[in-house]
Structure 1
Amino acid sequence: MKISTFALLLFFSPTIILAQEAWLSTPESINQFRLRVEAMRPDSSQFDLKVTNKTIELTGRELEIRIYKPSGTSVKPTLIYVHGACWVAGSLDSHDEICRYLSKKSDVNVVAINYRLAPENKFPAGHNDVYDAVEWIWNHANELGLDTEQFAISGESTGAYFTAATALKSRDKKDGPKFSFQLLVYAALDGGGSSWSECKDLYFNDAEDIRSEYGSPLWSDNLSGLPPTFNIFGQYEISRAEEELFMRKLKDVNVVTKSFMNEGVGHDVTNWLSVQTETPAHLKAIEYINEGFKIK
């Protein structure tokens, strides 16, 4: 189903979302937001890929993943994708088109993760789901036909938040997944910051959660040893300051970093999810993926 630019802007423009933060204060309003996000699914038919849905069993729960594979028999890199939508919404379906696009245009295998949503599942449910799913994918890569020699993680908005937290946790676990790079798009990185404050209140229980080891990637005590990090942010991005600070802090501890400012836009998740027309952010993402995987 194709969607109008107006419909997308109505629910993902940063100014509109800020005005609606109080609107996300009741179970009914959150459910309405979820339904509207799902109703905005773009048309994914233009990208012909082998797509497989799989249920994975983790401790005490099951999660869904979706694997996208381009045609061809050669070994292809693996890119994990973590969806955003304010910690409370989003799914494999709502982010299907961007995953297809990244897989097709970069010629890599993409694996999308469905995690439990807030506020029904508070911190650290989402963190644990994403990390545990990534670790499961890493450990079962052979049976899934996925490569771990070239293995990276990406996400947009709150999905980028989980991406950065997962990269930190993976670094700390000796037997954890090893990432070639992380790609952060329109990222939320500060659990205690003012941007998206009410959304954060729906996920975090209290300040102690935010100050915990992986609760706020921006304020981690140790950012050294992280994989090369690519960041795409909007010129008028509501979380631009935290993204730029995060990248400076990474650079200070000798992490390879590259940033791209998408001029004239804010939290431009609308156009990121709908790839009917390629934006500078899409083109830069493909460039970063190719660079990170050393694809020529």
Structure 2
Amino acid sequence: MPLDPEAQRIIDRTPAEDPNASGPLDVVAMREGFQQMWKMPDPLPEVGSVVNTTIPGPGGDLPVRIYTPEGEGPFPAFVWFHGGGWTIGGLDENEFSCRAVCAAADTIVMSVDYRLAPENPFPAAADDAYAAVAWVAEHGAEIGADPAPSPGGVGGRPPTGKLPRIATGGESAGGNLAAVAALKARDLGGPEIALQVLVSPVLGHPDDGRASYSEFSEGYFLSKSSMDWFFVTYPTGPDDLDNPYLLPLRSKDLTGVAPALILGAEYDVLRDEGEEYGARLAEAGVRTEVVRCDGLIHAFFGPLATELSAAEKARDRAAAALRAAFGTDGR
């Protein structure tokens, strides 16, 4: 499908990378440039409440932003991780999408401000992601969530015939962390996760040879060179690249992982690895839905949510999948 005209306008206004630039990129400049490029949308979707607080994390207090829907709880919980190559970004650029999903899925959304590299390299972000999910399982009542399984059944999972009420989700590096949290939950004895919503997730390496990295290496908002830099910044060394908690596609066994909804942009270097991960999950017997969002570019779900009309369909799909996974379609 042709590039969405709204996506083309975003690309046209995005500063081109300097092919003659030399030396390492500066993380402070990258963060400042990202903040200057993005503005908080107005108006924002209405929800019951938005609260900034902290929860205990492996490296100290972990900032989180909790979105609660209108109405009477307790509610299921959707733990969300922002993108930014594990290096840049924060809670604000996901404000619109977190509110929209909170209202549409009738779920609490806990957006997590995990530790960033290079100050906190791998596995800091992965550890924070799993800790946040585990905290919700143990302390959900403190934020109005009821993560305990409720009667029901989706696709034969879980075997007890009850539905867990925790889901993970994220975009780009946040999608990576949502997938990693689901892997860790399987490997470390829980908590049981109802669904992982992976939006343009980072699951493999830029040099793995996937076609989307060649087709969209530059000129489509997220470049291969940016991804190369993130992979210099986040891992501590080459050995980390073999760790499935950094790159889930390195996992030799995906059986028993939570069901997944994978949403990918057509014009994105990360497109093929998301679709490959979906195929791997399905081969392992995991209920998986993979959706290619035609005409769209990277960051369509969060930072560019209000500028890409077609992204609304993706948010609606995520909300519907969450309702089905939580068993709250008729709530």
Q: Give TM-score scaled by structure 2 length.
A: 0.78
SS of equivalent residue, structure 2 residue 267: coil
Q: Distance in 1 between matches of 2:93 and 2:20?
A: 20
Letter of the structure 1 residue corresponding to residue 176 of structure 2 = Y
Q: 1:123-272 to 2 correspondence within 5 Å?
A: 123-148=122-147, 149=149, 150-174=165-189, 176-191=190-205, 193=207, 195=224, 196-269=227-300
Shift of 1:191: 4.0
8 Å CA contact 1:70, 1:103 repeated in 2: yes
| Equivalent position to 2:319, from 263, 286, 295 | 286
Q: Distance in 1 between matches of 2:97 and 2:50?
A: 13
8 Å CA contact 1:8, 1:40 repeated in 2: no
Letter of the structure 2 residue corresponding to residue 47 of structure 1 = E
8 Å CA contact 1:81, 1:112 repeated in 2: yes
Shift of 1:258: 0.6
8 Å CA contact 1:271, 1:279 repeated in 2: no
More helix by share: 1
Q: Distance in 1 between matches of 2:13 and 2:285?
A: 34
Q: Distance in 2 between matches of 1:184 and 1:204?
A: 21
Q: Distance in 1 between matches of 2:17 and 2:194?
A: 34
Shift of 1:145: 1.8
Q: Distance in 1 between matches of 2:13 and 2:168?
A: 23
Shift of 1:159: 0.2
Deviations 1:29-75 (A, max 9, x none): 223234335x4232353323211111122344111111111111143
Q: Distance in 1 between matches of 2:19 and 2:173?
A: 18
8 Å CA contact 1:234, 1:264 repeated in 2: yes
8 Å CA contact 2:167, 2:194 repeated in 1: yes
Shift of 1:217: 0.4
**2:31 aligned residue:** 31
Shift of 1:212: 2.1
Q: Which protein is bigger by CA-based radius of gyration?
A: 2
Q: Give TM-score scaled by structure 1 length.
A: 0.87
Identity of paired residues, percent? Answer: 28
Shift of 1:283: 2.4
**2:120 aligned residue:** 121
Letter of the structure 2 residue corresponding to residue 31 of structure 1 = R
Shift of 1:17: 7.2
**1:92 aligned residue:** 91
Letter of the structure 2 residue corresponding to residue 164 of structure 1 = A
**Structure 1 moving runs of 4+ over 6 Å:** 5-8, 17-24
Q: Distance in 2 between matches of 1:245 and 1:294?
A: 28
Q: 1:31-70 to 2 correspondence within 5 Å?
A: 31-36=31-36, 39-43=38-42, 45-70=44-69
| Structure 1 stretch displaced more, 40-49 or 217-226 | 40-49
SS of equivalent residue, structure 1 residue 119: coil
Structure 1 spans left out of the alignment, 5+ residues: none
Deviations 1:221-276 (A, max 9, x none): 21110111111111222111111111111111100011111111232437764347
Report how many residues are paired: 289
Deviations 1:4-32 (A, max 9, x none): x799935997x957979979712442232
Shift of 1:143: 2.3
Q: Distance in 2 between matches of 1:143 and 1:35?
A: 32
Letter of the structure 1 residue corresponding to residue 326 of structure 2 = F
Task: Say what the alpha-carbon RMSD is for the aligned residues.
Answer: 2.9
- Compared CA separation, residues 226 and 114, structure 1 to 2 (3 A): same
Q: Distance in 2 between matches of 1:98 and 1:20?
A: 36
8 Å CA contact 2:31, 2:89 repeated in 1: no
